[in-house]
Amino acid sequence: MTDMYLEAKKLGLYLVKIRRELHLAPELGFKEYKTSKIIQRELRSLGIPFVVMATGVVGLLKGKRKGKTIALRADIDALPVYEETGVSFASKNKGIMHACGHDAHTTCVLGAAKLLSNMKDKVKGNVKFIFQPAEEIADKNRDGAKEIIKAGAMKNPKPDAVIALHVDAPGEVGKISVTYGPVYANADFFEIKVTGKGGHGAMPHASVDSIVVSAAIIQNLQSIVSRNVSPLESAVITVTMINAGETSNVIPPFVKMEGTARSLNAQTRRIIKTRMKQVVTLTAKAFGAKAELRYFDGYPAFSNDETMIGLMEKAGVRLLGRKNVILRKEPSMGGENFSYFTKIAPGGFIWLGVGNKKKGITSALHHPKFTIDEASLPVGAAVLAETSLEFLNSK
């Protein structure tokens, strides 16, 4: 039996080279032109046919024997962050950085592609490599997962399962974490416009103070989490932006706010939506003002499929040992558009430890000093490849 981790470690230099090449030239969502070219070049060199979809790439490895199809998904975009790591391969694109480790995700899936194409005779069925653009994009109308799925990433053949990983900053290199049940939240967002009546700062009685109204709205919104949602459920409402006013002696007529609402299931999401509308409009009404709420559904929540996460855990234990596979009990209230793939096929999602306290690699995701211990790359590639073989050989 092949020791997949050993095989992956043999690819160590290759993985580091690819990761640094990607890290040097990060690109924002839907602008991953160069990134896409690097992925295409690598798949071509492996003899894996691919289709370009938006700025994403979908490769298909056909095994020697017929069977099921598993998809390995990596997100490939970077963030609008000024890199401050000081590494020799730091971003050459000023103000853009792979601060969420998507360079590592791309590398791990390319690594798995290399591992599996080196052992094609063992692959019973197909492995799809989905390099998805625009995961980080905060756009109401577009995101990379939806677009690449619409373009056909999950068709011809339709995967029977889909797996992915995300780098885990506090997680130590050499370890992975798995979660049974909910993994990420419904990541919705909202805009509120409050309309009062402008006036002199010294004569509030002659105005309708949109700022006081907004303060009341912000306070009241918190009661949805504490009083409407069950104490046993998780929910977040955060106002992240307030814009109003020009100077100290004028009461502004308008306030604009934005924020995010998070939940782990459809019922809590419904409660938040309904109550937010009531709280926003009726609080304003109580002050003689008007307020309008626009609520947008963001990335949906998802849970790991029990069989798939079971296979990933098993692969991890076999390759890394029991003590290096951590069971994480709690989901994240963050969002991930991997969820769209899990609506089509059972999904498994793990966290890949990339931190190393001894080397001082401890910065959080999205931080300008975020970096990874590159010894994590063979770990990620091996777990993805091992799980793929395990899944394809299972009944």
Q: Give the binding site for Zn ion (CB under 5 A).
A: 100
The number of angstroms, rounded, from the C-alpha of 291 to the middle of its chain's C-alpha atoms is 32
Measured from the CB atom, is 68 or 262 closer to Zn ion? 262
- Output the smallest distance, CB 143 to Zn ion, in A: 13
- Output the smallest distance, CB 181 to Zn ion, in A: 21
- Output the smallest distance, CB 99 to Zn ion, in A: 7
What DSSP letter does each residue of 202-229 carry, written as one string?
A: T-GGGSB-HHHHHHHHHHHHHHIIIIIS
The dihedral through the CA atoms of 95, 99, 105, 107 has a sign that is positive
Measure the CA–CA gap between 352 and 39, rounded to whole angstroms.
21
- Output the smallest distance, CB 101 to Zn ion, in A: 6
Beta strands, E only, 196-289: 199-200, 235-243, 250-251, 254-263
Give the residue nearest to Zn ion (CB).
100
- Output the smallest distance, CB 366 to Zn ion, in A: 6
- Output the smallest distance, CB 69 to Zn ion, in A: 25
CA nearest to 105, candidates 64, 144, 149, 74: 74
Measured from the CB atom, is 100 or 110 closer to Zn ion? 100
Measured from the CB atom, is 167 or 381 closer to Zn ion? 167
Tokens of 116: 């599996």
Measured from the CB atom, is 74 or 221 closer to Zn ion? 74
The number of angstroms, rounded, from the C-alpha of 65 to the middle of its chain's C-alpha atoms is 34
CA nearest to 312, candidates 207, 149, 166: 166
Measure the CA–CA gap between 395 and 379, rounded to whole angstroms.
26
Measured from the CB atom, is 100 or 361 closer to Zn ion? 100
Measured from the CB atom, is 186 or 210 closer to Zn ion? 186
